[in-house]
């Protein structure tokens, strides 16, 4: 697989693998732990060098899974994880926390669970309004100086926050949602990243499955599936948003590809420093997603997509209200 560079020096595969869904958020896992380890290793065999996890996924168990799966190839891959939440004694998330002393404690935990000497890319998972971003960046800078972290990242941060953090410790990558389903970053975020030389890692590049064409108004979600509580996945919103899935299906059919591949190829075509991280728990979907790196959209293709998408009014918020409040504005 082709490589791309995040920031100034972090080289990764053009498409990474988001591992969150292997441990949480999308309902019962059809495969067990061993199957997920095999899937991660299959991704490595197919050229993926960029893997995304976080302490909050599980919590904790996803880092352990990723660490075990990648241990045999540690020197060949880039592992990204995240800090920024507090937990009680039972491991339940209790809110945001990016105090410097908490960041250091979180770092030691992630290093241990991943089984690594250094975290390749360390994101602040959500901006903590109680802690100046300069203090956060300074804390990560100290960890970089100590060799425990190699690169600093932010997630769902506003442009002004990115600038303030970057002035203290260069930011290698921003991870935020971006897809044909959610184009919010195009207004301020993408121009800021281009100006500062920061890479972009879109999560949910397939709209939490909606852009694959496999989700429609008849789809039901398990109570443990986050989509059951997301306004954009209400039956009414799905009905209104079906026009986008239909559009991708039509384009995919004309190109002898799949809607998911068109959606990922569109992202890759936006900028050479964009690296999407679709997640999956199934080997066929992994192969499908990675094949998107070989799909080249022409200028006519892109113009057709943009013209059509601009006429579609996507309905529904992308998060329930309590999660929307965690987004930096």
Q: Which residues of 28-60 are buried (b: 16+ CB within 10 A; e: fewer)?
A: eeeeeeeebbebbebbbebebbbbbbbbbbbbb
Terminal-to-terminal C-alpha distance of the chain: 35
CA distance 54 to 42: 21
State the DSSP H helix or E strand holding residue 138, giving kind and residue range, or none if neither: helix 133-145
Query: Can you state the angle between helices 33-45 and 283-291, rounded to 10 degrees?
Result: 30
| Token couple for 301 | 């293709």
Question: Please, are residues 137 and 98 in contact by the beta-carbon 8 Å criterion?
Answer: no
Q: Any catalytic annotation for residue 57?
A: yes
Residue 289: closest CA among 43, 29, 118, 59: 43
Question: Please, are residues 292 and 15 in contact by the beta-carbon 8 Å criterion?
Answer: yes
Catalytic entry in 26, 57, 122, 178 = 57
CA distance 259 to 145: 44
Catalytic residues: 57
């Amino acid at each position: 697989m082709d490589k791309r560079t995040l920031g100034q020096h972090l080289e990764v595969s053009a498409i990474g693998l988001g591992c969150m869904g292997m441990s949480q958020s999308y309902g019962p896992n059809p495969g067990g732990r061993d199957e997920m380890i095999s899937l991660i290793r299959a991704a490595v065999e197919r050229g993926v060098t960029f893997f995304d996890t976080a302490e909050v996924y599980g919590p904790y168990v996803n880092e352990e899974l990723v660490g075990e799966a990648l241990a045999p190839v540690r020197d060949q891959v880039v592992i990204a994880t995240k800090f920024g939440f507090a937990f009680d004694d039972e491991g339940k998330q209790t809110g945001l926390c990016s105090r410097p002393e908490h960041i250091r404690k979180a770092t030691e935990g992630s290093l241990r669970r991943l089984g690594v000497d250094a975290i390749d890319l360390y994101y602040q998972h959500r901006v903590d309004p109680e802690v100046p971003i300069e203090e956060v960046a300074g804390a990560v800078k100290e960890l970089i100086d100590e060799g425990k972290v190699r690169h600093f990242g932010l997630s769902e941060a506003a442009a002004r926050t990115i600038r303030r953090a970057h002035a203290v410790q260069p930011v290698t990558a921003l991870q935020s949602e971006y897809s044909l389903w959610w184009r919010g970053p195009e207004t301020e975020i993408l121009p800021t990243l281009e100006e500062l030389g920061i890479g972009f890692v879109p999560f949910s590049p397939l709209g939490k499955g909606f852009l694959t064409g496999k989700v429609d108004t008849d789809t039901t979600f398990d109570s443990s599936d986050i989509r059951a509580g997301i306004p954009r996945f209400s039956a009414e919103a799905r009905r209104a948003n079906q026009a986008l899935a239909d559009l991708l299906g039509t384009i995919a059919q004309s190109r002898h590809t799949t809607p998911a591949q068109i959606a990922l190829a569109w992202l890759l075509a936006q900028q050479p420093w964009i690296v999407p991280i679709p997640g999956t728990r199934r080997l066929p979907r992994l192969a499908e997603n990675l094949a998107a790196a070989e799909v080249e959209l022409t200028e006519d293709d892109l113009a057709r997509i943009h013209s059509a998408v601009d006429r579609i009014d996507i309905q529904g918020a992308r998060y329930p209200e309590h999660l929307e409040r965690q987004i930096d504005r």
